[in-house]
Amino acid sequence: MEFLEQAPRFLFFTGKGGVGKTSIACATAIRLAEGGRRVLLVSTDPASNVGQVFGIAIGNRITPVPAVANLAALEIDPQAAAQLYRERIVGPARGSLPAEEVRGMEEQLSGACTTEIAAFDEFTALLVDSSLTAAYEHIIFDTAPTGHTIRLLQLPGAWSGFLEAGKGDASCLGPLAGLDKQREQYRAAVAALADPQRTRLVLVARAQQATLREVARTHEELAAIGLRQQYLVINGVLPCSEAAGDPLAAALCEREAAALAAMPEALRALPCDQLPLKAFNLVGLDALRQLFAAAPTAAAPLLEQADLLEAPSLASLVDDIAADGHGLVMLMGKGGVGKTTLAAAVAVELAKRGLPVHLTTSDPAAHLAETLEGSLDNLTVSRIDPHTVTESYRQHVMDSKGAKLDEQGRALLAEDLRSPCTEEIAVFQAFSRVIREAGRKFVVMDTAPTGHTLLLLDATGAYHREIARQMEGSSMRFSTPMMQLQDPRQTKVLLVTLAETTPVLEAANLQADLRRAGIQPWAWVINNSVAAARPRSPLLRLRARNELAEIEAVANRHAPRYAVVPLLEQEPIGVQRLLQLAEGAVDG
């Protein structure tokens, strides 16, 4: 493994959701710890599953991993970090300010921006505060999916630049009062990230064209902010020895070979490792220790008809959705489970039936146009691009609020709008505008990976609480985006997962989070099922057998209704293949 040779103190693993970052980060931590190095494994993903992988509860504190000497782990919990951050600011005011003012401070600090600042403080402290990390020779960061990670790694520079120039905090849902004290910590964090002797970034990808294109963009964006010490790991490559006698395996091998041959030029110069696809789920120490080892695949019997559940198809769910005539359909789940493809399939099938549909995404890394490869009557497509909507929001504020200010006031307002928190408000407003359309047409939304979506819902909840507080005692009726999400007559949430242990657990956790917010998921979709594809290759047959217990768990324990979509020989790209996917009639 080239990326492990002469490993520096800080190792970051990043990439598109579902490519195996957590597994590789955990396996790396085990390898270094069992080699005698003292290691701290840190997850910065708001939807972390490091604890699930090791089978222990970790949470927002440094926790030894009992089964691995020299290894400890930490999951930065954004909500717990935000609570501590709020208490640091609000605590001193209790007893000295009127209760109403204290409540106002607490409400101002309830937004997702405060959550981001608080988690970011913990992240930078791990880079620069020797009192926290002096006991460890290596600190390994298992990061959130790409868009969220780029945001995190850009933040030291963004906050430092803002503190150098900005003087106000009117645009921010959480005040910036505590940030100025952190100026030196942020500067030191920027220096640590840019130092190749201290920091190495490992880009994790799959042998898929879309994933490799995204990781190339990540490479260039992070190199531009100084993270140039980068390595590439291509994970889960199907050995071509599996292709004999199995059309599915042969098609997958051919597809992966073509993707690697067409790898973007920007990635070709990077040191690169390939990890073969394993027959087992990467959960537990024994499995993780085998990730970097070459192991022969045992034979497995073909699946018999009796082995497979009589699982509903995606078409049956679309029938029920179409019956309503309009509404919001949100696809949520872990990164890499195929939300974009399934959102596009649902949207084109509804549009084909003559229903007006708006297909959109809140995922910074999603590319609906690449999935559709064409147009269709009754279908409009958009993307909530954080950069675009933030710039539009800044311009709107300058044109409206700024029009009433003198030159100095406009300059101060412009500085304030450079706060990274401005993006939170802009994305929330764009999200709210889109979902309002669902009263007269179908809006199908491909959401960002779990953690990012929960932060967006957090902002939606904060807005709802503020409106409810303002309307308290009033007889006027009001509606907020959160109320629309909570109304099953207006919104159907489809949780997308794979028939694997970790994605199913994460989908179940997401379902619990949504229910606590008063949002009841409508259905689950198990995507890319190997079992449903009836493979003949030994390795794929073993993976298929491992899926059956997970499909049964979804059907019997988790989902109010569900559908299973098979792994396909050809990628479902283009309107025609998406229609076939939705109708359950895709052939090789």
Give me the active site residues, please: 18, 20-23, 45, 502
Q: Judge contact between 529 and 547, C-beta under 8 A.
A: yes
451 and 335 in contact (C-beta within 8 Å)?
no
Cα-based torsion angle of the residue sequence 545, 549, 555, 556 in order, rounded to the nearest 10 degrees: 150
| Cα 561 from chain centre | 24
Tell me the helices (H) and strands (E) count for the chain, helix number first.
24, 15
Alpha carbons within 13 A on the beta-carbon side of 248: 20
- Reading the block at residue 99, the tokens are 């209760």
Look up residue 28 and give its two tokens.
Answer: 């790396």
398-425: b (≥16 Cβ within 10 Å) or e: eeeebeeeeeeeeebbbbbbebbbbbbb
CB contact set of 451 (below 8 Å; sequence gap of 6+): 45, 46, 47, 48, 78, 144, 145, 148
Q: Who's near 93: CB < 8 A, 6+ residues apart?
A: 101, 102, 105
Nearest-Å Rg of the Cα atoms of the chain is 24
**Strand partners of residue 199:** 10
Q: Which two tokens stand for residue 515?
A: 């229910």
